[in-house]
Every structure is written in structure tokens, then in C-alpha cells.
């Protein structure tokens, strides 16, 4: 039965990455027409309602979801993720889905590199070698020093750093706070901070674009619901490698829907980054 759950968990993770890739494509579509803060704000409104509804149905309800031993760190997490999403959506409009994801997938390596100094976790030479290889892969994608490097390419790198810090902070609070508490603060704090920013950029949406906005909100909530179900069925170590499928899904969408091209250096660099990331996941599983 456990093996069957693992298989189903892997299938759900594959579906989750596909849904999130579609969400990224819709985000790019809307952000090309409307301000990014506006798009992310409306997305967070729906996400916050989803989080509150899920939390209210759990044992203990909202009172238990709010109870945290790290209130200010939880608030910081929520703010950081909301701003990271804004940075990444801007990158979608400037660089496209393919190159943004090719650079962004380096965040697990950043988490591995920073887990030592920030969380006191032991990082052995094999993981450092994988981190170094991943850095080489990112440099191949960015092509610094070739005369064609664009400073815009630093935007998804900033997003990856922000998400890595978010992941580390999440790992830190998980020592005392259960996952449903972190989930609650992720949605509600993000909605508050994006409302505080996004209302200044309000503009009416065309009726047809409200349909896309609805699809964006539903895909976001559905993706997180799938992710929750995935981790309920299978261990993270078994399904996490399949999270990298979001890169080919997003790249395919970028090429089909937005006419993006896959440059050879991006493909080679991304392959190196993914390989290094999978190796670090394998090492963590071995250590566990």
C-alpha cells in the first residue's frame, strides 16, 4: 500500500509541476498587459481565501493555524515570498518562461549552500562539489563576460536567492511550527502585503482578462492543494526530484504559446543545474 501511495504521490507531483507551469504562463500573459503588483495582488486574494478555508476545516480551526512560536519570522516569510513572486513574474515578461526557470531552478543548490552557515547543518565536500557544478551551470546560462550578458538576467537569479532564503526560513520555523501554520501565514501575510502595494496600481481589467485572472487564481489554489495531497501520500525525498519537471513544462509552454527559443547554452546550463540539484537531493536522502 505504501508503494502504491508513493507511485500516486509521484504522479501528483508531476501534475503539480504542470499546473504551476500553466500558472506561470498565465502570470506572464497578464503581466504583459497589467502591472505585476496588480496581478499578484488579485492572485493572493484568492489564495488567502483558499488558505483560510483549508485552515478552518482542520482540527482546531483558525485558532490553531494562527498559533506560532515565531510570529515575526512567519510574517517575514510571507512578505519575502510575495515579493519573490513579483520579481519572478517580472522576469517572465522580460526574459520569458524558459530562461527564467532555467536560472531559477538553482535555488535548491543555494539552500544547500546556505544551510550550513544559517542553520548549522553539515554540508560535506560532495554537496559542495554539486553546488559548485550548479554554479557553473548558471554561469553557462548567464554567459557573463561574453559581451552579450544582459543585466536583466540577474532578475531571476535574485528571485532564486529570495526563494532559497524563504526555503531556509521555512525549514527553521518548521522545527517548532507545524506545516499548516506556515501555510496559513504564507497566504494571509502575502495577501496583506500585496494589497498594501497593489491597490496603488489598480486598473480595470477587460472582461476577457478576468477569465484569465480566474484561471490564474484557480490554478494557484489547485496547485497548492495537489502539493498538499502529494506530501500526504508520499515522503518528500521520493517526490521532490520530480519537481524539476516544471522546467521542461514551462519551457514547452514558452516555446508553444509565446514563441520563445531554447538557446544551446541555456539547455546545457540547465541540465548541469538539474543534475547537481538531483545529486544534492540524493545525498540528503542518504544522510537521512
Q: What is the pLDDT along the chain (288 residues), one digit of tens a residue?
A: 466 678 888 899 899 999 999 999 999 999 999 999 999 999 999 999 999 999 999 888 899 999 999 999 999 999 999 999 999 999 999 999 999 999 998 888 888 888 877 777 777 777 788 888 888 888 888 776 544 457 788 899 999 999 999 989 998 998 899 888 999 999 999 999 999 999 999 999 999 999 999 999 999 989 988 988 888 887 776 787 888 889 999 999 999 999 998 888 889 988 998 888 888 778 776 766
Question: Which residue segment(s) compose the domain that 147 sits in?
Answer: 2-287
224 CA to centre of own chain: 11
pTM listed for this prediction: 0.88
User: Which set of grid coordinates corresponds to residue 118?
Assistant: 544559517
What was the pLDDT predicted at 288?
60
What was the pLDDT predicted at 3?
62
If one counts the domains in the chain, the total is 1
Q: For residue 179, how many other CB atoms are within 10 A of its CB?
A: 12
Q: Which residue has the cell 522545527?
A: 175
What was the pLDDT predicted at 1?
44
Amino acid at each position: 500500500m505504501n508503494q502504491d501511495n508513493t507511485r500516486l504521490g509521484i504522479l501528483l507531483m508531476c501534475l503539480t509541476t504542470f499546473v504551476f507551469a500553466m500558472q506561470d504562463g498565465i502570470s506572464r500573459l497578464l503581466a504583459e498587459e497589467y502591472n505585476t503588483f496588480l496581478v499578484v495582488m488579485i492572485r493572493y486574494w484568492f489564495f488567502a481565501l483558499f488558505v483560510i478555508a483549508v485552515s478552518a476545516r482542520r482540527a482546531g480551526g483558525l485558532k490553531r493555524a494562527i498559533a506560532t512560536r515565531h510570529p515575526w519570522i512567519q510574517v517575514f516569510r510571507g512578505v519575502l515570498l510575495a515579493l519573490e513572486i513579483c520579481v519572478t513574474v517580472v522576469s517572465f515578461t522580460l526574459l520569458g518562461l524558459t530562461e527564467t526557470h532555467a536560472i531559477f531552478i538553482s535555488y535548491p543548490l543555494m539552500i544547500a549552500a546556505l544551510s550550513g552557515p544559517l542553520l548549522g547543518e553539515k554540508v560535506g565536500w560532495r554537496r559542495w562539489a554539486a553546488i559548485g557544478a550548479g554554479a557553473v551551470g548558471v554561469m553557462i546560462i548567464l554567459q557573463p563576460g561574453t559581451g552579450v550578458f544582459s543585466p536583466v538576467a540577474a532578475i531571476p537569479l535574485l528571485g532564486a536567492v529570495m526563494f532559497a532564503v524563504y526555503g531556509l526560513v521555512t525549514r527553521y520555523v518548521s522545527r517548532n511550527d507545524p506545516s499548516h501554520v506556515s501555510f496559513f501565514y504564507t497566504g494571509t501575510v502575502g495577501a496583506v502585503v500585496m494589497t498594501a502595494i497593489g491597490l496603488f496600481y489598480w486598473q480595470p481589467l477587460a472582461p476577457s482578462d478576468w477569465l484569465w485572472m480566474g484561471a490564474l487564481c484557480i490554478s494557484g489554489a489547485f496547485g497548492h492543494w495537489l502539493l498538499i495531497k502529494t506530501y500526504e501520500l508520499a515522503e518528500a525525498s521520493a517526490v521532490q526530484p520530480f519537481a524539476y519537471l516544471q522546467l521542461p513544462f514551462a519551457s514547452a509552454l514558452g516555446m508553444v504559446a509565446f514563441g520563445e527559443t531554447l538557446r544551446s547554452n541555456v539547455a546545457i546550463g540547465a541540465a548541469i543545474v538539474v543534475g547537481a540539484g538531483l545529486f544534492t537531493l540524493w545525498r540528503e536522502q542518504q544522510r537521512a
